[in-house]
Chain A
Amino acid sequence: MESSHDNQDQHTNDLPARLSVEDVDVDFLPIIYDIIRGLEKDPHESSQKPSHSQDISQKVLELHKKLELAKEQIKRLPGVEYSKEQQLDKLEALRTQLKLKRDLLLKYRTMCTFDIPKA
């Protein structure tokens, strides 16, 4: 739990403009496991130990926070606004555009041969 806290703090403290995928914290399973284990460990006396149930609800809250944080981070990931196919299409379109523009420039450059009209 301590380590996950540290992780969260690190993410909220320095927010780079462009996140990389490695920065996204998606380790949900350990927390879920912790929660389930906490619930199963003490099936009968959970009501009598307020600190224990508090601990569990704390973890549920943490899980929730972590999920929300992951969502926020994903929204800031670069290049995920398209599916990969769409993205590749757009890449191809850009390449075509670049080629066309290069051709146009080349055309302009070779065009400048003037015919001198006979007076």
Chain B
Amino acid sequence: MTRAASNMSTGEKLLAIIEDISLISKEIIENTIAMKHQKLLGAEQVLLTELLVLKDNELKETLKLAAEQAEINQKMDLLRAEVDKLDQDIQNLQRQLKEAEQILATAIYQAKQKLQSINRANKRPVSSEDLIKFAHRISSSNAVSAPLTWQPGDPRRPYPTDIDMRVGFLGRLSDMPLNGHMLQQPNSLGDMHRTGHHPEPPASQQNQFAWHPSGEIHMSVGQGTVPMDTRNHTKDNEDVEVMSSDSSSSSSSDSQ
């Protein structure tokens, strides 16, 4: 029953010893009964008893070992808990790093786009004065927002008029052969910029359909609010003069 102890677990060893004790005690008891009947005097019995005591001692020793191992086991449990904790920390950290990577990647991508547009803008600068002139021209005819004093019945437009619509891109779709190129926003900006530097002849023709003349027409139609109209009229006219020195926005689309 004495097996190679090194490969056996302590638990198996303890069980084996108990098994041994059980077998030896059984043997001893049987021997005792046999001796009782046959009057045998057993040297074997003595040996068995010694073996039993030996096994008992071995059992106690192994139990001491088991006690030590229980302590080690406790240490291992602590270590395991700590390892688990670190595992979680590492996982958290990795997840956060991954998130940070994503955020940074997005930021870099956006920053690159921004740099690209900055470069593009630097290549073809638009003067702020030009921009302001265009803005003036667009807003002076009340096409973007109604005048502050506007009331129902006021002929000045808080809305685009028929003529405005016809002059715009949508109106032109029907009567002009278009290349899709023109419809793109950045290109129209580029066109504006280009035409700003090279005013083209059609601009003067287009003036009759541009913002200000149309505003004029409407003002003359709505007779009820004449005094207010004239005041705005003169103001508009000034604007028209300023603006018409440049190319109009409609001429920019014409240049295509």
Contact = CB atoms under 8 A, between A and B. Distances in A.
A39 B59 contact: no
| Majority DSSP secondary structure for residues of A touching B | helix
Interface in A11-70: 20-22, 24, 26, 28-29, 32, 35-36, 39-40, 43, 46, 60, 63-64, 67, 70
Given A71-B18, A80-B11, A85-B6, A36 B32 contact: yes
Contacts of A82: 9-10, 69
Interface size of A as a range: 35 or more
Contacts of B72: 79, 84, 87-88, 91
A80 B53 contact: no
B15 A71 contact: yes
A20 B60 contact: no
A87 B6 CA distance: 12
Given A21-B66, A77-B70, A84-B10, A94 B22 contact: no
Interface in B80-98: 80, 82-83, 86-87, 89-90, 93, 97
A5 interface: no
Interface string B47-64: 000001100100110011
B68 interface: yes
B71 to A, nearest CB: 8
Contacts of B79: 91, 94-95, 98
A41 B223 CA distance: 143
A101 B80 CA distance: 12
Contacts of B56: 26, 28-29
B73 interface: yes
Interface size of B as a range: 35 or more
Contact of B9 (A20, A24, A83): A83
Contact of B93 (A39, A63, A71, A108): A108
B21 interface: yes
A94 B15 CA distance: 28
A67 B55 CA distance: 14
A105 B82 contact: no
B133 interface: no
Interface string B123-149: 000000000000000000000000000
A20 to B, nearest CB: 7
A98 B75 CA distance: 13
Contacts of A91: 72, 75-76, 79
A82 B10 CA distance: 6
A29 B22 CA distance: 11
Nearest to B87: A101
Interface in B9-30: 9-11, 13-15, 18, 21-22, 25, 28-29
B29 A35 contact: yes
B15 A101 contact: no
B63 A24 contact: yes
A40 to B, nearest CB: 7
A74 B14 contact: yes
A94 B74 CA distance: 13
Contacts of A63: 25
Contacts of A84: 10, 65, 68-69, 72
Q: Which 4 A-B pairs have the closest CB atoms?
A: A79-B73, A80-B11, A101-B86, A21-B67
5 contacts: A32-B25, A79-B70, A83-B6, A86-B9, A94-B76
